[in-house]
């Protein structure tokens, strides 16, 4: 009996497919702020074989979904806006964090804290650059504090209170994180059944 290795690209393609499905879910009706964005970055850093492949996969799928949203709403602001490099740069940082955590022996116990920490990182960095690059707030410590204080109400949509928007954001991270990481684990167990096969 000989062993037959499972092609590694099968897992990478599966991970890419899960990312694509999550990204395209942005086109479906959903509560404000309930989105897969942070979970996609954490998932990619967690499972892709290299940092580069994780970043490329996230950026590619996000660009595809942004383009689809731009065409659907006929609004090119989904793709061409000044914060785009900041958003993608923050994704790259979150992916790096997820890769570090994924090396731990107890990494699955850290999956939820990593998702929540990544949400906080995204909020802090993106709103810092809203303050630094924009003209809405004075370039003072008070202006920065005001920017953060106004960040959640700024996304006030459809009469939802700020607490509800924060809740939706965290719920989206947990639900999509569970879908991506859980789907990966289930599929990986399925593929592992074919790691060995009898010689013919």
Collect all residues with Cβ–Cβ distance below 8 Å to 153 and sequence separation of at least 6: 162
First-to-final CA distance of the chain: 9
Domain boundaries, the chain: 8-192
**Below-50 pLDDT ranges, the chain:** 1-3, 6-7, 9, 154-158, 160-161, 194-200
pLDDT of residue 189: 78
pLDDT single digits (tens) 112-155? 889 889 988 988 998 899 899 988 899 999 999 888 877 765 44
State the residue for tokens 């509560």.
Answer: 31
Task: Show the DSSP H helices in 48-110 as ranges.
Answer: 51-73, 84-102
DSSP 62: H
Model pTM?
0.78
The per-residue pLDDT of the chain, averaged, comes to 79
pLDDT score, position 10: 61
């Amino acid at each position: 009996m000989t062993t037959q290795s499972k092609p590694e690209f099968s897992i990478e393609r599966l991970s890419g497919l899960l990312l694509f499905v999550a990204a395209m879910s942005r086109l479906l009706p959903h509560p404000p702020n309930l989105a897969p964005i942070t979970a996609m970055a954490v998932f990619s850093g967690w499972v892709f074989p290299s940092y580069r492949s994780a970043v490329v996969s996230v950026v590619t799928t996000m660009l595809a979904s942004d383009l689809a949203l731009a065409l659907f709403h006929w609004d090119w602001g989904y793709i061409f806006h000044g914060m785009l490099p900041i958003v993608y740069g923050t994704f790259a940082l979150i992916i790096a964090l997820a890769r570090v955590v994924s090396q731990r022996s107890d990494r699955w116990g850290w999956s939820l804290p990593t998702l929540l920490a990544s949400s906080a990182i995204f909020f802090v960095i993106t709103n810092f650059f809203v303050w630094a690059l924009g003209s809405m707030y004075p370039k003072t410590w008070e202006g920065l504090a005001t920017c953060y204080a106004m960040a959640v109400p700024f996304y006030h949509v459809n009469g939802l209170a700020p607490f509800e928007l924060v809740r939706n954001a965290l719920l989206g991270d947990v639900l999509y994180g569970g879908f991506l990481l859980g789907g990966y684990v289930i599929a990986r167990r399925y593929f592992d059944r074919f790691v060995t096969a009898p010689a013919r």
